[in-house]
């Protein structure tokens, strides 16, 4: 059984590879309904930005004391700059974060009025990364992998973690005898074959295995089916 000693996290060097996002929170108040449509009018009072997607994973690992390097793709606009600033404030190595000028930075906008979320707006693309970005990521991983202890793949299905890139990551990690962890996305987990630890939730496990998980027996059956793929 794999054991993790939280007290030793400050000695752990983690490479997080995944879909970086920025979470935007717009806070306001509602005191009337729009005359244009039956929707509330939100009077904005405040606006916050936070690391989302694999960026949130990075944030949590830093909070636990780990030394973290991040790899992902962002756009070249204001939101990409906001992400880089937040990573720099955490002391995270951002050399592996690639900017694609024609790609928007994935952004989740949550509008919260009187303590209740009333709307979420997603600005993103799910197009696969360019060949140039693939090569840049591959070159950076090859450069840094000997210095890390764990490669953590955080997949949100936004086009960055292509099957080819996942295979490349796992092959390099295996070559250098590094532990790999993947938080998967989608129904086909075979693209993560060879990973040391796969961390789907209950819903993802059931969908990937094609089994409704209603008890522990069904959970074990689903897990075994996934291991066989």
Write out pLDDT tens, residues 112-166.
998 899 999 999 999 999 999 999 999 999 999 999 999 999 999 999 999 999 9
Is residue 89 in some structural domain?
Answer: yes
Query: Among candidates 125, 197, 204, 134, which has minimal Cα distance to 167?
Result: 134
Report d(CA 103, CA 82) in Å as an integer: 15
Q: Are residues 121 and 180 in the same domain?
A: yes
183 CB-near residues (< 8 Å, 6+ apart): 18, 57, 152, 153, 154, 155, 199, 200
Identify whether residues 65 and 164 lie together within a single domain: yes
Is residue 105 located within the same domain as residue 65?
Answer: yes
What pLDDT is attached to residue 129?
Answer: 96
Residue 83 C-beta-side C-alpha neighbours within 13 Å: 34
Do residues 139 and 210 both lie within one domain?
no
Which residues is 13 bridged to in the sheet? 67
For residues 166 and 182, membership in a common domain is answered with yes
In a domain, 182, yes or no: yes
Is pLDDT at 171 greater than 90 in this prediction?
yes
Q: Say which residue, 2 or 62, is predicted with more confidence.
A: 62
pLDDT for residue 188: 87
Which residue is associated with the tokens 């939280």?
A: 6
Specify the CATH number for the domain of residue 156: 3.40.1190.20
* Residue 218 sits in the same domain as residue 192: no
Is the confidence at residue 183, as pLDDT, over 80?
Answer: yes
Quick one: 225 and 129 in the same domain? no
Q: Is residue 2 over pLDDT 60?
A: no
CB 68 within 8 A of CB 61: yes
Q: Is 13 helix (H, G, I), strand (E, B) or coil?
A: strand
The answer to whether the beta carbons of residues 168 and 133 sit under 8 Å apart is no
pTM of the model: 0.92
In a domain, 33, yes or no: no
Q: Where are the alpha helices (DSSP H) in the chain?
A: 54-63, 78-90, 131-144, 163-175, 202-209, 216-228
Question: Residue 106 above 90 pLDDT?
Answer: yes
CA dist list (Å): 161 to 153, 188, 211: 8, 13, 26
Nearest Cα to Cα of residue 208 among 194, 183, 229: 229
Segments forming the whole domain that contains residue 225: 203-229
Residues 6+ away with beta carbon under 8 Å from 115? none
Residue 56 lies in a domain: yes
> Do both 167 and 186 map to the same domain?
yes
Number of structural domains (the chain) is 2
The pLDDT tens digits for 86-100 are 999 999 999 999 999
Q: What is the pLDDT of residues 7-25, one digit of tens each?
A: 777 889 999 999 999 999 9
225/155 same-domain check: no
| Judgement on whether residues 148 and 226 belong to the same structural domain of the protein | no
State the pLDDT confidence band at 56, using cuts at 50, 70 and 90: very high
- Residues 17, 130 share a domain: yes
């Amino acid at each position: 059984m794999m054991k993790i000693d939280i007290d030793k996290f400050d000695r752990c060097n983690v490479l997080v590879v995944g879909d970086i996002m920025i979470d935007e929170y717009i806070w306001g108040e509602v005191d009337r309904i729009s005359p244009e449509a039956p929707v509330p009018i939100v009077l904005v009072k405040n606006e916050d930005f936070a690391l989302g997607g694999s960026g949130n994973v990075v944030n949590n690992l830093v909070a636990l004391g780990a030394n973290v390097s991040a790899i992902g793709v962002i756009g070249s606009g204001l939101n990409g700059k906001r992400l880089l600033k937040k990573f720099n404030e955490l002391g995270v190595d951002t050399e592996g974060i690639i900017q694609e000028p024609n790609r928007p930075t994935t952004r989740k906008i949550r509008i919260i009025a009187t303590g209740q979320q009333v709307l979420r707006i997603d600005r993103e693309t799910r197009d696969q990364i360019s060949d140039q970005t693939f090569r840049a990521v591959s070159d950076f991983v090859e450069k840094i992998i000997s210095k890390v202890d764990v490669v953590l793949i955080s997949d949100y299905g936004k086009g960055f973690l292509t099957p080819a890139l996942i295979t490349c990551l796992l092959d390099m990690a295996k070559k250098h005898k590094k532990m790999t962890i993947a938080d998967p996305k989608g129904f086909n987990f075979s693209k993560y074959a060879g990973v040391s630890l796969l961390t789907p939730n209950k819903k993802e496990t059931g969908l990937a295995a094609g089994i409704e998980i209603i008890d522990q027996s069904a959970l074990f059956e689903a897990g075994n089916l996934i291991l066989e793929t």
